[in-house]
Amino acid sequence: MVTATPYLCVAGASAALDFYASAFGAEEVSRWTDRETGMIGHAEFVIDRARFFLADEWPEGGVYSPATIGRTPVSFVLEVEDVDAVFQQAVAAGAKVERPVADSPHGRNGWLFDPFGHRWSISAHDPAKSVEDLQNEVGDEYVIT
Domain ranges, residue 99: 7-139
Residue 132 within any structural domain of the chain: yes
Give the pLDDT mean for 106-121.
95
Which class for 45: exposed (0-12), middle (13-18), buried (19 or more C-beta within 10 A)? buried
Residue 126 within any structural domain of the chain: yes
> What's the rounded Cα separation, in Å, for the pair 33 and 37?
8
Percentage with pLDDT > 70 across the chain: 99
12-34: pLDDT as tens digits: 999 999 999 999 999 999 999 99
How many residues would you count in the chain? 145
Residue 144 within any structural domain of the chain: no
Cite the DSSP H helix spans in the chain. Answer: 13-24, 66-69, 83-93, 131-138
Residue 97's domain is classified under what CATH number?
3.10.180.10
Give the global pTM: 0.88
Is there a contact between 55 and 38 (Cβ–Cβ < 8 Å)? no
| Ranges assigned E (strand) in 1-145 | 7-10, 27-33, 40-47, 50-56, 75-79, 96-104, 107-113, 119-125
| β-pair type (96-104, 107-113) | antiparallel
How many distinct structural domains can be found in the chain?
A: 1
Residue 145 within any structural domain of the chain: no
pLDDT band at 140 (very low <50, low <70, confident <90, very high): confident
73-90: pLDDT as tens digits: 999 999 999 999 999 999
Phi and psi of 49, rounded to 5°?
-110, 0
Residue 2 within any structural domain of the chain: no
36-55: pLDDT as tens digits: 999 999 999 999 999 999 99
